[in-house]
A and B are shown apart, each in its own frame.
Chain A
Amino acid sequence: MIPRETQPLISNAELEKILISFESEDPSWFHQIRQIAREELKNNGFPDFKTEQGSYTPWDKVLLPLKFSGRPIERFSANTDLLSSLDWNQIESVIGQWPYRIVMLNGQYSIQHSILPSGLEIESIRSVLKNSLNIPIQSMFSKLNLKELGPVLNLACFKDGFYLHFKSNQCLDYPLVMLHIATQAQDYFSCSHNVIVMDEYSSGTILEYFISGNEDQSSLNSEMTQIYLRPQSQLAHAAAYLNGIHKNQWSFQTVEQQSGSSFSSRIFILGGAWTRHEQVIALKQPQASCGLEGLWMTQDHQQAENYTFIDHQAPNCTSREKFKGIANHDSVGVFDGCILVRENSMKTDASQENKNILLSSNAQIYSKPQLKIYADDVKCSHGSATGQLDAEALFYLQSRGIHPEAAQQMLIDGFSREIVDAIPWPEFKTSIWNRVNQFYKGNSK
């Protein structure tokens, strides 16, 4: 990729203003980490970090909302009109009815809309940071890699988020829904940071929905989640990005897995202007397993990016990855997946699959699978293919009287089915199918 030698999109003076607007009262141990992140931001120029990971991203559009972040965002969450204007019937028609939910409104926790399961420890991350007795949280933050723009920006700016703690043997009976709603007529930037800790033998499901209207102004939400899975714990996670056409979303997830733990993830990017989902998974102890699946569909000028990094650090761990993407019109899709198998990780079983479909000659798909294997006696496979809809299949459908547009939609549904049908929660599956079925509109350009 060509490095861009242009003016930084956000000058240091502007950056300074942004950082001041995100000033918060940090405990001293955290203040140090925050400072490192802020220095990193200033020193590296913004946003041109020298990593390859940003090379596909239209930074000028994505970061524009940052310039407006001087506005105090609390003002919005205090706006009762905004809260009462939410149409819950409409929201529930998208996400289904669930007994538990955490609602984030423009990046801020909205307690009056949230329904929390009893017995589960949920706290504001701000108050957890202030609790100096919570030593593990200090080491969790101090071990973060502060070299990439995603986590650096998040750590430099976030004010709040959740701390979620599953105690040993605790099993959540229903999925915990995290609903991120952006409902804003003005540009804004919001930023939140979450920590999820699952103790031995606990299990739970977290379903995230990102929804917003097609409002005129753009926004950027940065969400970072650190997940710790202790021995034999199980977490199932899914995220549906169903944002409106001006919303930029940057999610960054780190997962640390101990022995026998399992993590499943399903990422659906079916909306938004720009959506980037990054996952860094460390399989730190034997018999840990993770399964990542994803489906993205972009059209017009949308962009969807999936980054995965699976770090096999221990023997006998398993990882599965399957990502599929469809790009129409002038849209862009990215899959960048790296599997690292370290020296002592014998009997690693890893597979990665990426399949994409280009519906238009103006659309772009970048697929970058990487396998780095430094151990013997491992089973690793990967495959990547990008092509067009099968012309033979299209003709077959047409020759049975089916209109070409309907035929294309059928093939798109067929391509997606493998990922969508595997969703174990019927309501979630329905909301994804509803989006997928409506994807194809008009002839591809």
Chain B
Amino acid sequence: MNQNREMLAIKNLHACINEKEILKGIELTIRPGEIHAIMGPNGSGKSTLANILAGREYCQVTQGSIMFENQNVLTMAPEERAQRGIFLAFQYPVEIPGVNNAYFLKAALNAQRQSLHEAELDAVDFLELAKIKLKELHMDESILQRSVNEGFSGGEKKKNEILQLVMLNPKLAILDETDSGLDIDALKIVAAGINAWKKADRSVLMVTHYQRLLDYITPDYIHVLIQGKIVKTGGKNLALELEQKGYGNLDSLQLTAMHEQRQ
């Protein structure tokens, strides 16, 4: 593994929603195998960043660049980003009535295989694979026959995201508050699932508010995002510090950031 190779490189990223600037110059580099966590107050722009990476259209990028494996992500359609290995586990997974979960998963998997010029999985092979992954995540097989996320409990929805993650086997997983809504046992299971998926060259960008997820998935870096800017980056101990002191003591940093911006 080449430690210097960049998987994801975000440079000076500015983005607006409805003409309001939400991201104000994000700098972030993720190398293969690294785990990054983003923490920050509500409304600071964490999900916006995650959604921009996945190709959500309502967030408009006004400045800056995002490169994934040296390719310009910003010109790629959402499905192409997915096919190239970017995966977003949604903070709020969408319910899709009438679309069978197994059918959806198989379509997603085969779309990806097709883009890689691999043979499509037939129903039997797909089911075999799905059953193994379901078991790893301690999920009931019946979830395959339900409509995508429809009527799922909060925890089931989050688990369904991770099921998709381990089935699709992306290179970069963006986890937007995957821990929220999971009970203590489910959190352990989900974390174990993610750790099992994560090989040496797979990377993770996870958004979280709590230390508890970081207990199971140890980050290499923690970034603090406040008002659309990364105001502090540290090691895994930064989270504990934040948990004790809150974001308040970073206000001065934030003020400096705003001050710099004005100048």
Interface residues of A, Cβ cutoff 8 Å to B: 390, 392-393, 395-404, 406, 410-411, 413-418
Contact = CB atoms under 8 A, between A and B. Distances in A.
Given A406-B107, A410-B104, A399 B55 contact: yes
A399 B78 contact: yes
6 contacts: A390-B96, A392-B94, A396-B94, A401-B112, A403-B79, A413-B99
Interface string B61-100: 0000000000000000111011100001010011111110
Contacts of A396: 90, 93-94, 96, 148
Contacts of A397: 96, 104, 108
Given A397-B104, A400-B82, A403-B111, A414 B97 contact: yes
A388 to B, nearest CB: 14
Interface in B101-125: 103-104, 107-108, 111-112, 115
A411 B96 contact: yes
B164 interface: yes
B54 interface: yes
Interface of B: 54-57, 77-79, 81-83, 88, 90, 93-99, 103-104, 107-108, 111-112, 115, 147-148, 164, 168
Contact of B108 (A392, A402, A414, A417): A402
Given A400-B164, A417-B97, 10 more contacts: A395-B55, A396-B96, A397-B96, A398-B55, A401-B82, A401-B112, A403-B79, A403-B111, A414-B147, A418-B97
A402 B99 CA distance: 13
Contact of A411 (B77, B79, B82, B99): B99
B96 A400 contact: no
A411 B82 CA distance: 19
A415 B147 CA distance: 11
Contact of A401 (B79, B95, B97): B79
Nearest to B113: A401
Contacts of A400: 79, 82, 104, 108, 111, 164, 168
Given A410-B104, A411-B99, A404 B79 contact: yes
Q: Which 5 A-B pairs have the closest CB atoms?
A: A414-B98, A401-B82, A417-B98, A400-B108, A414-B99
Contact of B168 (A398, A401, A414): A401
Given A399-B88, A401-B108, A406-B107, A414 B96 contact: yes
A413 B54 CA distance: 25
Contacts of A415: 97-98
Nearest to B92: A392
A402 B97 contact: no
A398 B82 contact: yes
A410 B104 CA distance: 8
A325 to B, nearest CB: 15
Given A401-B111, A402-B108, A413 B98 contact: yes
Given A398-B79, A402-B79, A410 B99 contact: yes
A393 B111 CA distance: 17
Contacts of A402: 79, 107-108, 111
A440 to B, nearest CB: 14
Contacts of A398: 55, 77-79, 82
Contacts of B83: 401
Contact of B54 (A399, A416, A417, A418): A399
Contacts of B98: 413-418
Contacts of B82: 398-401
A400 B80 CA distance: 9
A404 to B, nearest CB: 7
Contacts of B54: 399
Q: Which of A395, A400, A402, A416 has the most CB of B within 10 A?
A: A400
Contacts of A410: 96, 99, 103-104, 107
A393 to B, nearest CB: 5
A392 B149 CA distance: 13
A425 B196 CA distance: 46
A395 B115 contact: no
A411 B147 CA distance: 11
A133 to B, nearest CB: 53
Contacts of B107: 402, 406, 410
Contacts of B79: 398-404
Contacts of A392: 94
A415 to B, nearest CB: 6
A400 B84 CA distance: 11
A90 B125 CA distance: 33
A401 B94 contact: no
Contacts of B96: 390, 393, 396-397, 410-411, 414
B18 to A, nearest CB: 15
Nearest to B82: A401
B173 to A, nearest CB: 12
A396 B88 CA distance: 9
Nearest to B95: A393
B181 to A, nearest CB: 17
Contacts of A399: 54-55, 78-79, 81-82, 88
A395 B99 contact: no
Contacts of B168: 400-401
A399 B78 CA distance: 5
A309 to B, nearest CB: 29
Contact of A393 (B55, B56, B94): B94
A395 B147 contact: no
Contacts of B56: 395
A416 B57 CA distance: 27
A70 to B, nearest CB: 49
B94 to A, nearest CB: 4
A399 B77 CA distance: 9
A406 B112 CA distance: 13
A393 B79 CA distance: 13
A416 B77 CA distance: 27
Contacts of B164: 400
A417 B146 CA distance: 13
A414 B107 CA distance: 14
A8 B57 CA distance: 51
A393 B168 CA distance: 18
Contacts of A393: 94-96
Contacts of A406: 107, 111
A401 B57 CA distance: 16
A204 to B, nearest CB: 31
